[in-house]
Amino acid sequence: MANSSRMTSYQRREQLIRIGRSLFAAKGFEAVSVEEIASHAKVSKPIVYEHFGGKEGLYAVIVDREMQALTATLTAALEDQQMHPRQIVERTALALLTYIEQNSEGFQVLSRDSPSTDPSGSFSSLLGDISLRVEDLLTAAFKRQKLSPKGVPYYAQMLVGMTVFTGQYWADRPKVDKEQLAAYIVDLAWHGLSRLDSKPKLIFEGERAARTRAKEERRNAGGPGASADDGTDAGGPGTDAGAGPGASAGTGAETTSPAAGHVAGDAANTIPESGDMTTVDDATEAADGAAGRTADGAVGRTADGAAGSVADGAADGDDGTGAGENRT
């Protein structure tokens, strides 16, 4: 008790806040008692009740202080919308990690589950406010890039959640310095944001991807000998069922189908590299165009040659002279 006589009311209040913050950070709200707080402060329980009305009052003051400090830190990082978007991401990530580094106990208090007596949700409420600010920034950026704003609220939650949860992990395992960790966060966030597709789709999983695969399988079911007209060929690769040495113009079209099918298959089966959000539907359209161009060009060339050969043969048939002799 002698210790209390040497402190002013303000000093005692600040001492109880420091002790309470440390205990709440280490053990959580539910596990800490008024008796424990008073014991660490070397005062009686009534002193704690006199200043804060109980454990709940002390916890509320601590959370309020930490929320104000963190909100001010993140708001300052996000307020200059004229900065390059990447600089905003870097500054915000570094600001959060700096707060965690300098206020580790306060961050632990905020990031723990809030007690049932706290209706505001504290940390969740704070993250919601920050997400709204990020959402405003993303909306403006999406408009400049002519991207659909439909997913903006979700992207904002992703960015905030990724950064905060990474910060929580780092607070317990600070094996890299804050600038290196900020670089990790920015690397993932920025490269994702800079290559967004206006209408992203799943490529490998989900119902739409399954339908796309089925469509491609049907397209390729005819094999290399598929004809340019209907994708089937009864006579094998490059020949018609009734084709002979005097191949018709139609046979020429079928002869080109393996090349067309090959181009189409390659284009349709090409998977974009990491970060490229080009979809299988886009690849299918490219395959259609490539196949059409290859087939059309080859058909024209082969048909002209075949038609010329047939015409020469027909002209020479009257006098018994073959196409080769006639040309000679």
DSSP characters for 99-155? Answer: HHHH-HHHHHHHHSPPPTT-TT-THHHHHHHHHHHHHHHHHHHHHHTT--GGGHHHH
Residues 196-220 have a mean pLDDT of: 89
Question: Do residues 303 and 228 touch, judged by C-beta distance below 8 A?
Answer: no
pLDDT recorded at residue 90: 92
pLDDT band at 325 (very low <50, low <70, confident <90, very high): very low
pLDDT at 5: 57
* Region of residue 240 (phi > 0: left; psi between -120 and 50: alpha; otherwise: beta): beta
Average of per-residue pLDDT across 183-191: 92
Alpha-carbon distance of 313 to 247, in angstroms, equals 11
> What is d(CA 210, CA 199) in angstroms, rounded to the nearest whole number?
18
Q: Over 60: is that where the pLDDT of 258 sits?
A: no
pTM as predicted: 0.58
Q: What percent of the chain has pLDDT over 90?
A: 38
* The predicted structure's pLDDT at residue 254: 39
Q: Distance between CA atoms of 293 and 299, rounded to whole angstroms?
A: 10
Percent of the chain whose pLDDT exceeds 70: 63
Nearest residue to 100 via CA among 16, 164, 33: 164
* Confidence bin at 102 (pLDDT 50/70/90): very high
Give the pLDDT confidence score for residue 115 in this predicted structure: 57
Distances (CA, A) of 225 to 72, 292, 302: 69, 16, 16
Cα–Cα distance, 190 to 296 (Å, whole number): 43
When mean pLDDT is compared over 167-181, 231-245, 314-328, the highest value belongs to 167-181
Q: Which fold has domain 2-193?
A: Tetracycline Repressor; domain 2 (1.10.357)
Residue 91's closest CA among 178, 153, 172, 165? 178
Task: Please give the pLDDT value at position 143.
Answer: 87
Highest mean pLDDT among 9-18, 158-167, 197-206, 246-255 belongs to 9-18
Q: CATH 1.10.357.10 in the chain, residues? A: 2-193
- For the chain, give the mean pLDDT: 73
Section 236-251 average pLDDT: 41
How distant, in Å, are the alpha carbons of 229, 302, 308 from that of 240? Answer: 12, 14, 19
Tell me what the mean pLDDT of segment 297-316 comes to: 40
Q: Return the structure tokens found at 159.
A: 């960015």
Confidence of residue 124 (pLDDT cuts 50, 70, 90): confident
CB neighbour class for 309 (10 Å; exposed up to 12, middle 13-18, buried from 19): middle
Scanning the structure block, which residue is given the tokens 């505001």?
120
Among 21-30, 117-126, 253-262, the least confident range: 253-262
Q: What is the pLDDT of residue 8?
A: 94
> Looking at residue 223, what is its pLDDT?
58
Rounded Cα gap, residues 73 and 296, in angstroms: 63
Structure tokens at 247: 């191949």
